[in-house]
Amino acid sequence: MTDFGAGASSTLLDVRNLSVRFRTRDGIVQAVSDLSFTVRRGETLGVVGESGSGKSVTSLAIMGLLNRERTDITGEILFEGNDLLKLKPDEMRRVRGRDVSMIFQDPFACLHPMYRVGDQIAEAVLAHQKVSKKVAMSRAVELLGAVGIPNAAIRARDYPHQFSGGMRQRAMIAMALVHNPDVLIADEPTTALDVTVQAQIVELIDRVKRDFDVGVILITHDLGVVSETATHVMVMYAGRAMEYGSNAEIFAGAQHPYTWGLLESMPTVEKKLDVLMPIEGSPPSLLHPPPGCPFHPRCKYRFEPCDKLRPPLAEIPGGHLDACHLPPERKREVWANRIVPEIAAPA
Amino acid sequence: MSATVQAQYATQTLDGRDNLVEVERLTKHFAVKQGVFAAGKGIVHAVEDVTLTVRKGETLGIVGESGCGKSTTARLIVRLLEPTAGAVRFEGRDITHAPQRQLRPLRRQMQMIFQDPYSSLNPRKSVGQIIGEPFSIHRTEKDVKRRVQELLARVGLSPEHYNRYPHEFSGGQRQRIGVARAIALQPRLIVCDEPVSALDVSVQAQILNLLKDLQKDFDLTYVFISHDLSVIRQVSDRIAVMYLGRVVELSESEALYEHPRHPYTAALLSAVPRHSPTTGTAQRKRIVLGGDVPSPVNPPEACVFHPRCPRFQRGHCDVETPILRSFEPGHEAACHYPVERWPMTEEELRRPLGATAGDSNETNG
């Protein structure tokens, strides 16, 4: 059974009832609703969901990168006990990059094309430390080496266009590590990369987690990446957590029809399927979320209460958390008899 | 087997079906100006010496990483690009250097579906105009509106969507519009260039199933390009694996996944993250290739994969170019030290059969 108890000594980030609403011309977009999760040192929380599920908005909220004028954020984001949402902008600036840092999907867009890679990382050093430029530069070179850039001292003098996609993502990771942060948020870090390079970056993030002793939030739509690297998994849909548990609890016993749908619809490299099983329809508009369970219009297993009553995220007896009205025994039966035979790898 | 025998073998029909497309020793070079101030000139070797066939009614998957030449190959097949060397035959007709005038009627036979359903549809045209455009270009249809509405229904959209604009649709629905446009003229061949890469997982399968149904109903032939080995496995009858402009392995689909012969294919397969419940976490040892794909401006000598290859043998792989050779009927790979069995660990992969201890760079390095 997963221990979700807050306040444990190793808990770095404790997000409680986070909701994010955007005020737009068309109305209020309920991007994230009532989200709670924790990140601990040495853990990787995989956040899975489709576009519009609120996973990136969650990370931007943690980083304090949402425009507060047009956004209503409620709930608490406790970092080592302090609520980041209560910090003033200049206080937040001291947290950002030093305590919590982030790497983004597109390493092409995140480096300034006209400054040398080493200088950009050194600049990040100088943002929080009063050291000489020379010291900052040597720190940059050291970090580039640590993330696997060969001849780091020479390559630090390169411009971003001289780096390949994989190397740029490594440079971004180096920059994120400048101040030995406690929490590293990686938002789709491998999506823009090729498969073989993706494998390198996934391994690097895993190594960084151990070497730098950080807690990682890994945001991705790729269940494969999550299954191979995350210690905990949160499945999001329409701004809400649908299912939340340890890696084994999710991948060896998923309980939510949406998670099943994701697992079933993902083409697998391990066998040729007779038919692919898509989730019919498309994700709901967050301007007008459906009543009841947000997934009910697309759910194969919906029944009487689903379109009226929203199921809370609650603990399944003897297991993890999920938000679904189906009785537990029915879920276990569907998982074992219908989902596992469908997705299991051939022996 | 010699290269010419190989080429003949590749163009023969294996199961009695005729070839729709035959591509022979196809090469495409692009000239580039190097440097901001155009100091020197270089050549991008986008596609080098590619020989393959597409049989009627099949799906040929082309898989590889970015820059491997898969999209260029596809564009050469439908003659959106003119090859530098080699030949393309469509239904036995040489179209390698056919002029625009001759190509136009052929375009009815060959259509494309593109990756990005956001940029491949003109935002200022209605859905009816977009899908109806092939009819107005080729003047084949009198009652265009009725036909377009039939097509909309066929791809799973509502006929009432006729007057709507692309921005009103989700990514998956837009890709359906792209599919409707591609099948409008009842083509023989559709080149699908990463048709589901921009879509969410739950929607990907919808489009893949739609393509499968249409293939059955209209007897379509697909060239399906993707970087995603999982998607390719689900859709392809045969697969060409490309690396730096060359076909390194060409095989019946299932044989490729059950026993890849080229070390690059092996590394690609092993790099794909798995999510099946039995695999669990990190039990599998991944073969991680070092480095990145080299620049196609200066591709490596001999075997283009040798700088990253775990089976690299100095004095052989960097000297002699391997040609595609056959391992079993319908399975070819271009490698001096092909993978003997599968799965293999990285350790085992580094000890290629047939390599003498003397020229192994790994044992002493």
pLDDT digits (tens, 9 = 90+) for A54-63: 999 999 999 9
* Closest to B282 (Cα-Cα) out of A248, A32, A87: A248
Interface contact A194-B227, CB threshold 8 A: yes
Q: Which residues of A touch B307 (CB under 8 A)?
A: none
**In the predicted structure, residue B8 carries a pLDDT above the cut 90:** no
Q: What order of strands is seen across the sheet that includes strand A183-187?
A: A100-103, A183-187, A215-220, A44-48, A232-237, A240-246, A321-322, A314-315
For residue B277, name the pLDDT band (cuts at 50, 70, 90). low
- pLDDT of amino acid B364: 37
Among A269, A272, A295, pick the best mutation site for testing chain B contact (most B Cβ within 10 A).
A269
How far CA A51 is from CA of A32, A48, A283, B25, B161, in Å, comes to 13, 10, 9, 42, 24
Interface contact A269-B267, CB threshold 8 A: no
More confident residue, A280 or A346: A280
- Listed in sequence order, the residues at least 6 apart from A232 whose beta carbon sits closer than 8 Å to its beta carbon are A2, A43, A44, A45, A46, A244, A245, A246, A247
All structural domains of chain A with their residue ranges? 11-99+179-343, 109-178
Chain B residues with a Cβ under 8 Å from any Cβ in chain A: 65-66, 170-173, 200-206, 208-209, 227-231, 233-234, 253-254, 257, 267-269, 271-282, 286, 288-289, 292-293
Work out whether strand B40-55 and strand B19-34 pair parallel, antiparallel, or are unpaired: antiparallel
Contact between A20 and A31 (Cβ < 8 Å): yes
* Closest to B72 (Cα-Cα) out of B110, B100, B44, B40: B44
From the list B203, B208, B271, which residue is nearest A196 (CB)?
A: B271
Q: Which residues of B touch A222 (CB under 8 A)?
A: 273
Interface contact B201-A221, CB threshold 8 A: yes
How far CA B254 is from CA of A273, B51, B231, B258, B265, in Å, comes to 11, 21, 13, 6, 13
Beta strands in A277-338 (DSSP E): 314-315, 321-322
| Burial of A106 from C-beta contacts in 10 A (0-12 / 13-18 / 19+) | middle
- pLDDT of amino acid A164: 85
For B83: left if phi > 0, alpha if psi spans -120 to 50, otherwise beta; the answer is: beta
- How far the first Cα of chain B sits from its last, in Å, is 34
- pLDDT of amino acid B279: 46
| Residue length of chain A | 347
| Structure token pair of residue B132 | 């109806």
For residue A334, name the pLDDT band (cuts at 50, 70, 90). very high
For residue A279, name the pLDDT band (cuts at 50, 70, 90). very high
For residue B11, name the pLDDT band (cuts at 50, 70, 90). very low
CA atoms within 13 A on the CB side of B281: 18
Contact between B44 and B30 (Cβ < 8 Å): yes
Q: Which residues of B touch A161 (CB under 8 A)?
A: none
Q: At B218, give phi and psi (nearest 5°).
A: -110, 10
Q: Which of residues 162-191 of A touch B (CB under 8 A)?
A: 164-167
pTM: 0.87
Work out whether strand B19-34 and strand A321-322 pair parallel, antiparallel, or are unpaired: unpaired
**In the predicted structure, residue A165 carries a pLDDT above the cut 90:** no
**In the predicted structure, residue B257 carries a pLDDT above the cut 60:** yes
**In the predicted structure, residue B38 carries a pLDDT above the cut 70:** no
> What is d(CA A257, CA A243) in angstroms, rounded to the nearest whole number?
10
- pLDDT of amino acid B117: 83
Q: Which residues of B touch A276 (CB under 8 A)?
A: 205, 208-209, 234
**In the predicted structure, residue B278 carries a pLDDT above the cut 60:** no
* Closest to B189 (Cα-Cα) out of B153, B169, B219, B162: B219
**In the predicted structure, residue B237 carries a pLDDT above the cut 70:** yes
Strand partners of residue B62: B225, B240
Contact between B54 and B109 (Cβ < 8 Å): no
For residue B9, name the pLDDT band (cuts at 50, 70, 90). very low
In CATH, which of 3.40.50.300, 3.40.50.2300, 3.30.365.10, 3.50.30.30 is domain A11-99+179-343?
Answer: 3.40.50.300
**In the predicted structure, residue B6 carries a pLDDT above the cut 50:** no
Asked if the bond preceding B343 is cis, omega within 30° of 0, the reply is yes
Strand partners of residue A16: A76
- pLDDT of amino acid B333: 97
Q: What order of strands is seen across the sheet that includes strand B246-252?
A: B110-113, B189-193, B221-226, B59-63, B238-243, B246-252, B331-333, B325-328
- pLDDT of amino acid B124: 94
Average pLDDT of the residues in B255-271: 93
**Angle value at C-alpha B250, between B244 and B251, nearest 5 degrees:** 150
**In the predicted structure, residue B39 carries a pLDDT above the cut 80:** no
Contact between B243 and B68 (Cβ < 8 Å): yes
Q: Is A273 on the interface with B (CB under 8 A)?
A: yes
- pLDDT of amino acid A139: 95
- pLDDT of amino acid B346: 82
Q: Which of residues 284-303 of A touch B (CB under 8 A)?
A: 298
**In the predicted structure, residue B356 carries a pLDDT above the cut 90:** no
Q: From the CA of A93, how many Å to the nearest CA of chain B?
A: 34
- pLDDT of amino acid B138: 86
> What is d(CA B181, CA B112) in angstroms, rounded to the nearest whole number?
9
Interface contact B200-A194, CB threshold 8 A: no
Q: From the CA of B255, how many Å to the nearest CA of chain A?
A: 12
Q: What is the ipTM of this complex?
A: 0.83
Q: At B19, give phi and psi (nearest 5°).
A: -85, 135
Strand partners of residue B252: B238
- pLDDT of amino acid B290: 78
Domains along chain B with CATH numbers: 3-109+187-257 (3.40.50.300)
> What is d(CA B324, CA B248) in angstroms, rounded to the nearest whole number?
7
Q: At B175, give phi and psi (nearest 5°).
A: -65, -30
pLDDT digits (tens, 9 = 90+) for B93-147: 999 999 989 998 899 999 999 988 888 999 999 999 999 999 988 887 788 999 9
What 3-state class would DSSP assign to A56?
A: helix
Strand partners of residue A13: A39, A79
